[in-house]
Structure 1
Amino acid sequence: MLIEQEVSGDIEELIALFKHSPQKAEQAIHRALAKLSRWAERQVLRDMSRRMKVSQKILKELNRIRVRLNKSYGSKERYLTLWIGINEVGAHRLGNPRQTRRGVRVSSHRFWENSFLMQPVNASRELIFERKDNWHHRYQRSKRSGRMMWMGLPLEKKTVRIDVEAETSLKKVSPLLVNRFTDLLHQELNYAFNIES
C-alpha cells in the first residue's frame, strides 16, 4: 500500500511563518517585559497605598516608585528593576493638613498631637512641626555669613517612615513576577505568530 500526500504547500506556509520568528519573538519578549513593568508598578502602588492608608495618587506624586527595563551590556540578558525610595516623607505631603486645637490632622488616619502648621521662608506650603524635647543650640557654620555660631530652632519637622511598607510590598510582589511574565509572554507570542501578520 502506498500513501502519498502533497505537503509542499504546508511546508512553504510553515517556512513563511517561522522565517521572521527571531524578530517576532524578540518583539514579543520586549512587549511582555514592558507590560510586566507597568503591572509591577501598579501592584506595588496598590499594596503600599493599602498599608499606608494613603491614595495611590499621592504615592505616585511622591515619585518614589520607579520601574525600569534594563539590558546588560554585551549580552542579551534583560532584567526588571523595581526601585522604591525609602527616605522619610514629610507628613504634610500625605494629604491636606488641618490644624485642630489638639494638633494637626492629615486625612482621617493620621494625627500628630501637640503639632502645629507653619510655613518656613523657603517652603512653598505649610509644614507640620513639633517642639523638640531637651533642645540645645548647636555650634555650626552659618550658610549666610560662613561664620561658626550657636544656632538652631527647637522645632522638628514631622515625617513618616515608608521603608517597612515598601519592603513588605516588594516581598509580596516578588514571587508573583515570574508567573505574570509567563502569562504575558504566552499572550504576546500568540499575538505575534497567530494574529499579527
Structure 2
Amino acid sequence: MPGTFEPLPGGGAAVALDDVEISIIRSLAVQLLELIGPGPAEDAAADPLAELFAEGPSEPPSDPVLRRLFPDAYGGPDQPQGDGREAAERRSHSAEFRRYTENDLRAGKRENALAVVHSLNELSPQGEGGAVLKLSPQESRRWLGALNDLRLAIGSRLEIDAEDEADELYTLPDEDPRKPMVMAYLWLGGLQETLISTLLP
C-alpha cells in the first residue's frame, strides 16, 4: 500500500503515508487554498437567493495558475481569434459564463482542498512515523479533485501544457532547481492515478 491508493471493502480507498508525505500534501493544499482565496465573508448577507445570483469576476485571473484552474469557457489565448467580431463575441460569452460560474467553481475547489487538510489533520500516527489514510467514496472524490488541482497548479508553474511534455521531466538532473517541484508533480500523478482506479467499477 505505501505510496498508492488501494480500494477498501465496501467502497473508499486507503493509502499509507509517512510524515514527510503528509506534510507535503498538507502544505500544498494550504497553498492552494491561499491561491484560490477566501470564501464569502462571515458577515455577508445570509440570503440564499442573493447568494445564488451573486456575480463573480468577468475577467480571467492574472495569475497563470488561476487561469489554468479557471480557464475561459470559450477558448483561450492559444485559440485562433478569427475576425474582430468573432473575438469580441467569444470574449463576451466567456465573461458572461465566468461571471455566473467562477464563484461556485472556486467554492468547490476550496471545499476539496479543505477536505484534504481536515482528513490529514485527523490522522493518527502509526508505527515509525506515518499513518494509513482511509477515505470514504465521497472523500475519495474530493481528494481526486484536489489532487487534480494541485497537479494543474504545479504543472502551470513548470510550464507544462500537455501531458507528453511531462516525459522530459524524468530526465532532469538533480541539480536543476525545478527538481523538487517535478518530483511532487510526478508523485501526485501516481497518487491520482491509483485513486482513480479505486473509484472504477
**Structures share fold, TM-score greater than 0.5:** no
Rg comparison, structure with higher value: 1
Structure ranking higher in strand proportion: 1
Greater length-normalized contact order (CA 8 Å, ≥ 6 residues apart): 2
